Structures are given as C-alpha cells and as structure tokens.
Chains A and B, each alone.
Chain A
Amino acid sequence: MIDEFKTSLFKIDNDFKIVFASDSLSIFLGISIKDIIGKSCYSLLNQYSSPCKFCPIVGNKFELKYYYELVSDNGNYGYFVANITKSEDKYLISMLDMTEMRAYNRINKHQIKEQEAVISRLKNELNFNKRKLAFFERSLDNSQAGAMFVDRDYNIIHINLKLRKLISLEIVVVNSKCYNIYGYDSPCHFCPWTNVGKERQAKVIGDISVVIEFTRMDHYILEIFRDVTKDLSYIKSIKENQLLLIDKQRQMEILNIDLIETNDKLKVIQGAMDDELKRVGYIQSSLLPKNNPEIDGYDFGVVFISTKYASGDYYDFIDASEGNLGIVLADVSGHGTPAAVIMAMTRAIMRSYTLGVTSSSSVLSMVNEVLCDNIYTKDFVTMFYLVLNIENDTINYSSAGHHPVLFYDASEFMVKKLNVSGLLLGIFKEQEYEEKVLTLDTGDILFLYTDGLVEVINKHDEQYGYDRLLSKIIMYSSLRPQDMINEIMQDVKDFTSLESYRDDITIVAMKKG
C-alpha cells in the first residue's frame, strides 16, 4: 500500500545502517532488498563515506522536510521529499517521490508565467487603449464643437464639455440615452442607425439651434454638434433689416414724393417772397433820392447796386437849410428785409433830426440814440455824414464806423483818406463823434462808397481792393462824377467777370466845379 503512493521507505539504526527497505526503493535503485539491508544510507544513496553534511539525524532536526534529488546507478531519477521520524533506536525515512509533481509544477509555472505575460501584455494594451481613449476624450473636450459617441444601444459612451455646455447639463443624467439629448424618450426619427446614409440633421434643443453631423465608426457613431443659433440669429437679423430697409425705402419714396411736392410749394413761396422782396426793394428805391442835387459849382454822381431786391445800403441828400446840404452814406449790417427796414428807419430818423442841424457829429449822436432804442437785432449801421456849406465851400464830416471817405485833392493830384472815427450806430448809447472840417477847391472830388465796392471778388477769390480804386479815381478824376463812377463800375465788372456781386455797392461822388 505504501508503494502505491510512490513512497520509498527505509529504516536505519544509530549507525546509519539500513535495516529495512521498501520494494519501491529497491525498484528505484535497481538493487535487491537483501543487497540494500546492512548498507549505510549515505553510501547507498549518495556514495558518501560518512554521513551527509545535511543529515537531519546528525543535526537532530527531524521536524524539517528535506528535498533532494537522487540518481540511481541504473539511471533512475527521482525528486523526493524526505520525512524522518524516530522510533525507539531506529529512524524511519519516508521519501515521497515528487518527480512528476515537480514536472507538473514546472509545466504549471511555465503556463502561469505565459499567462502572466499575456495578462501583462493585455494590461499594457488596456492601459494604452485607456490612454488613447483619454486622449480622444480630451481632444473631444477641447473641441470647439459639441460631440458625443453613441453605441448601437443608444448609450452615450462619451459626451464632451462643449456639448455639456451647449445643452443643459441637468438633462445628461447617468445612463442617458442619446435620444434623451434631443428631448425624446425613444430613438429619434432621424436616427442614423435606422436611417442609412443619414449624415446631417438640423435640430432645435431648448434655446439653441444646432446642426448635427453623423460619422459611423464600426459600432459607434460620432455625433458632432455645431451651434448655429447666432448664424440663424444673424440671418434673421439680416432678413429683418432687409425688411426694415425695404420699408425705409418705401418711406423714402413717399418722403421723396412729399419733398418734391414741398419743393414745388417752396418754389411758389419763394416766388411770393421774391415778389415781397421786390416790393420792399421798390419801396426802398422810392426812398432813395430821385434826382441828384442841382447846385451851382457842384456836380454829383451816384450808383446803387443791390445784391438782393432789398438792400442794406442807403444814401441821401438832405436839405439841412441855411445853404447847407447834408450828404449821407450808410450801410446796414446784413441784407434783405431786416436790413431794408433798418435802412428805412435810419432814413426817417435822419430826415427828422437833420433839419436845422449843421453839425455832422451832432446828427450822428442823435441818430445813434434813436437807433439804439429801435434796433432789436444784432445789426448796426455804419454811416458817413457830411454837411456841405454851399456858400463857403466847406464841409464838416463825421463817421460812425464807416470806412474813410476818399478825397481827391486836385491841387496835389492825389487821393487822401478823410480819417475820422466814431462808433458804429445802434450799439451803445451816449456816443460822441469826431467832426472835421475841409475846404473844397475846384476839381476836388469827394468819393463816398460802401465796402461792397472794394470787396468785390473775382473767380480767383481776389478782392478788387482799395489800391485799385485809388488809381481809378485818379485816372478818371477829370471826368464828371457820374462818368467817373460808370468807368469805375465797368472796371469792377471787367475785374470780377462774375454775374453778380457779393455785397451791395453804393457810390456817391461829389465834384467841386
């Protein structure tokens, strides 16, 4: 029975002599039992001449098991585990043959190692795939487009950050199905699993509009979401703006028609206003002297050109009594009806206050007082006023802001300025005006003019100018005053070559005969 377990037994005495051996030991060694009995164990098994160094009996270590290999003379190999028990003065050594078991163990170990290698490789592959998946997931998360992976069973394998932001995160619950994203409880009608060839779908999810592009990959579908809410909003805005523009265009057309009608009406009104200004102009003209004074020893010339029908210029010859003739030249700032009204007012004041007053400065002071009380606009009046004493051929003259009158001195063949200063009329009350006196000789000319004359411009934006005027006065000094004025105005016309003047022009010339 012992042999069936492939256990070899032998018993030795205190001198290591074998006193018993089992058949299995005999068979393993190829030596008959009777030849075994009596031999020492160390010589029989290990061919030693003395007890083995590791002998447990010598070391008295029976509790340990000993593994060792034996090779018999007939070539049998065995791997044994030896167990030694002491019985009285004998030792029973049982040697369990572990040869096959060790072989099995070796095979198993080899298989285990192979399996471990496979497992290790699979682990590596798994880690690699995990990293690869993590990389793809990170890439997807970094994508500007929303994206999700879906499997055959409509499970969401991965949904990226963009898509989570795009849609409400609350609706992406654990184990959500892809169709839940689209707001359905069952597969969508446009599902690419069931609609073969489906590549694209437009959909409104909550407040956003998206276009989804489907890409099949074996058992998965990659769904890319593109947010087109803004695009649609722009398109909507453009459409609305287009409608608005069309509407504006319609309104503009209506407005245009209205403007044309208004323009026509304005033309009518303008015509009426022109007529009105013409009438004002007629009235104003009627206020100007009809004829030049006829005084022995004196010759007069005038020109009055208004840029509009109503002018701001004004001149007058006033009989100041006692052989005195008042000559006034004035320029109201501004043009049109307001200037004409102030001009008419000034004329009336002058006519009222000059009677019996032969001092030019006194007249200007009085006129200024009245004008200051009666001009309600920003306008003012410049005026040159002279009083000619016919009997002694003298003039006294004053100026209220008017540029100097030119005096052609025949004895010296030169033009002088009659410089005299005084504040513009109608600005501040209680003004005193400078007054000067001049005696006239034969051939002397007084040339009164408004600044519109020297300010005439040509197409090169050049002014006619003071110097040119002086030279013309000298040039035509031998002529009668009216002829001189006509020549000068012809020269002005040649100079400007423009159809109209920028400002009113008035000239009054008086020549001592």
Chain B
Amino acid sequence: MEMNIKESSKGFIIYPTGDIDIKSSPMLKSKVLELSDRGSVVLSLKHVHYINSSGLREIVDLFKILKESDKELRLCEMSVDMKELFSFTGLSKVFKIFDSEKDALGS
C-alpha cells in the first residue's frame, strides 16, 4: 500500500492507495497517530479498493485510541462498496464520514 499525505492549514489528509489489510494497516495506523499529535487528521479512502476484517480491526482500534485523548478520525471520499461496508458494520454511525475532503476538513 502506498500512502500520500497532504498538509493544509486545517489539518492533514492521508491518501492510502490499494488495500487496507493486515500488512498495510500497521503503517497507516502509526502514521495517523503520529499526525494526530500535530493536528486533525482526515483519511481519504478514494484510492482504497478494499478493506478486510484485519484492516477494519486496525481502523476501529485507531478510533478507540484517538477517542481516549478526545481526538477523532474523519473519513471521506468512500466508494459505494466502502460505504456499504461501513453501513452494514454499523461503523458509519461511529465514524464521521464525509463525501469530500473539503467537507471533512471544513467541519
């Protein structure tokens, strides 16, 4: 998985590319935690093809860790399949999910 990061005045946007699975999720997790100490973090999933249960496990764990320090992880630009995944797993009610990165940064 590749990972690009954009820094704006309102925070960081991380763009993981490929699959979020047992191999790639630890790297993503450590990067989100590192950046969350410096500002708000938005995870854009527009280049993510697939998240398996291991990837989901790390994202949920990330949510829990951030919540302990009153931080949040915003998600945006999900594909239809990804939205369905977050919907039937109930995670769409846990995470703040936005259609665009502009909305995610602006709120």
Q: Which residues of A come within 8 Å of B, CB atoms?
A: 331, 333-334, 378-380, 382, 399-404, 419-424, 427-428, 431, 451, 455, 503
Which residue of chain B lies nearest to A466 when distances are taken between CB atoms in the complex? B81
CB distance from B89 to the nearest CB of A (A): 4
A-B contact pairs, 15 of them (CB 8 A): A331-B53, A334-B53, A380-B57, A382-B53, A382-B89, A401-B91, A403-B85, A421-B88, A421-B89, A421-B92, A423-B93, A424-B91, A427-B94, A431-B90, A451-B53
B93–A401 touching, CB < 8 Å: no
Task: Give the complex CA separation of A431 and B90 in angstroms.
Answer: 10
Chain B residue nearest in CB terms to A423: B90
Q: Pick the contact of A400: B57, B90, B92 (CB < 8 A).
A: B90
A401 — which chain B residues lie within 8 A by C-beta? 88-91
Chain B, residues 31-59, CB within 8 Å of chain A (1/0): the string is 00000000000000000000011101110
Q: How far is the CB of A79 from chain B (nearest CB, A)?
A: 113
Interface residues of chain B, those whose CB is within 8 Å of chain A, are 52-54, 56-58, 60-61, 64, 85, 87-94
Chain A residues near B57 (CB, 8 Å)? 333-334, 378-380
Query: 4 closest A-B pairs (Cβ-Cβ)?
Result: A423-B90, A401-B89, A333-B57, A378-B61
Contact B88 A402 (CB under 8 A): yes
Find the A residue at minimum CB distance from B88.
A421
B52 touches A428 (CB 8 A): no
CA distance A420 to B89 in the complex (A): 9
- Which secondary structure characterizes the binding site on chain A? loop
Complex-state Cα separation, A423 to B93, whole angstroms:
8
* B58 and A423 contacting across the interface, CB-CB below 8 Å: no
Find chain B residues with CB under 8 A from A380 CB: 57, 60
- In angstroms, Cα B92 to Cα A431, docked, is 14
Question: Given A382-B53, A451-B52 in contact, is the A421-B60 Cβ separation under 8 Å?
Answer: no
Docked Cα-Cα span, A423 to B64, in Å, equals: 14
A115 nearest CB across to chain B (Å): 93
The answer, among B54, B85, B87, B90, for a CB contact under 8 Å with A333, is: B54
The residue in chain A whose Cβ has the minimal distance to the Cβ of B55 is A333
**Contacts known (A378-B61, A380-B60, A428-B94); A399 close to B54, Cβ less than 8 A:** no
Chain B residue at smallest Cβ distance from A404:
B88
Is A424 in contact with B52, judged by CB distance below 8 angstroms?
no
Contact residues in A for B90 (Cβ distance below 8 Å): 400-401, 421-424, 431
The residue among A422, A423, A431, A451 with the most chain B CB atoms within 10 A of its own CB is A423
List, in ascending order, chain B residues with CB within 8 A of A427's CB: 60, 64, 94
Report whether A423 and B54 are in contact in the complex, using a CB–CB cutoff of 8 Å.
Answer: no
Question: Total A-B pairs in contact (CB under 8 Å)?
Answer: 54
Q: Judge whether A378 and B89 touch: CB under 8 Å.
A: no
Q: Give Cα A400–Cα B61 distance, bound, in whole angstroms.
A: 17
Least Cβ–Cβ distance between B95 and chain A, in angstroms: 11
CB distance from A88 to the nearest CB of B (A): 132
Docked Cα-Cα span, A422 to B86, in Å, equals 10
Judge whether B58 and A421 touch: CB under 8 Å. Answer: no
Q: How far is the CB of B25 from chain A (nearest CB, A)?
A: 11
Given contacts A331-B53, A333-B53, contact A378 B87 (CB under 8 A): no
Bound Cα distance A455, B58 (Å): 19
Q: Decide if A378 touches B88 in the complex (CB within 8 Å).
A: no
- Complex Cα spacing A383 to B52, Å: 15
**A90–B52 Cα gap in the complex (Å)?**
153
Chain B residue, CB-CB nearest to A502:
B52
Chain A hits for B52, CB < 8 A: 451, 455, 503
A403 x B88 contact (CB < 8 A): yes
Which among A334, A399, A503 is the interface contact of B88 at CB below 8 angstroms?
A399
CB distance from B96 to the nearest CB of A (A): 15
- Chain B residues lying within 8 Å of A404, measured Cβ to Cβ, are 88
Query: Which of A379, A420, A424 has most chain B Cβ within 10 Å?
Result: A424
**Docked pose: A379 CA to B53 CA in angstroms:** 10
Shortest Cβ distance from B26 into chain A, in angstroms? 11
Contacts of B93 in A (CB 8 A): 423
With the chains together, A404 CA to B84 CA distance in Å?
Answer: 10
Whether the pair A421, B53 counts as a contact (CB closer than 8 A) is no
A382→B90 CA distance, assembly (Å)? 10
Distance from B27 Cβ to chain A, minimum over Cβ atoms (Å): 16
Bound-complex Cα distance A420 to B57 (A): 21
CB distance from B71 to the nearest CB of A (A): 17
Question: Which residues on B sit within 8 Å (CB–CB) of A428?
Answer: 94
- Min CB–CB distance B81 → chain A (angstroms): 9
**CA distance in complex: A420, B84 (Å):** 11
Given contacts A421-B90, A424-B91, contact A378 B53 (CB under 8 A): no
B73 to A: closest C-beta gap in Å:
14
Q: Which residues of A contact B92 (CB under 8 A)?
A: 421
Q: Which residues of A contact B60 (CB under 8 A)?
A: 378, 380, 424, 427
Q: Select the residue from B53, B56, B60 with max chain A CB neighbours within 10 A.
A: B53
Q: Determine whether the beta carbon of B54 is less than 8 Å from that of A419.
A: no
A382 partner residues in chain B, CB cutoff 8 A: 53, 89
Residue of A331, A333, A379, A431 ringed by the most chain B CB atoms within 10 A: A333
Nearest A residue (CB) for B89: A401
Report how far A399 CA is from B85 CA in the complex, Å. Answer: 12
A399 to B87, CA, bound (A): 11
**Which A residues are in CB contact (< 8 Å) with B53?**
331, 333-334, 382, 451
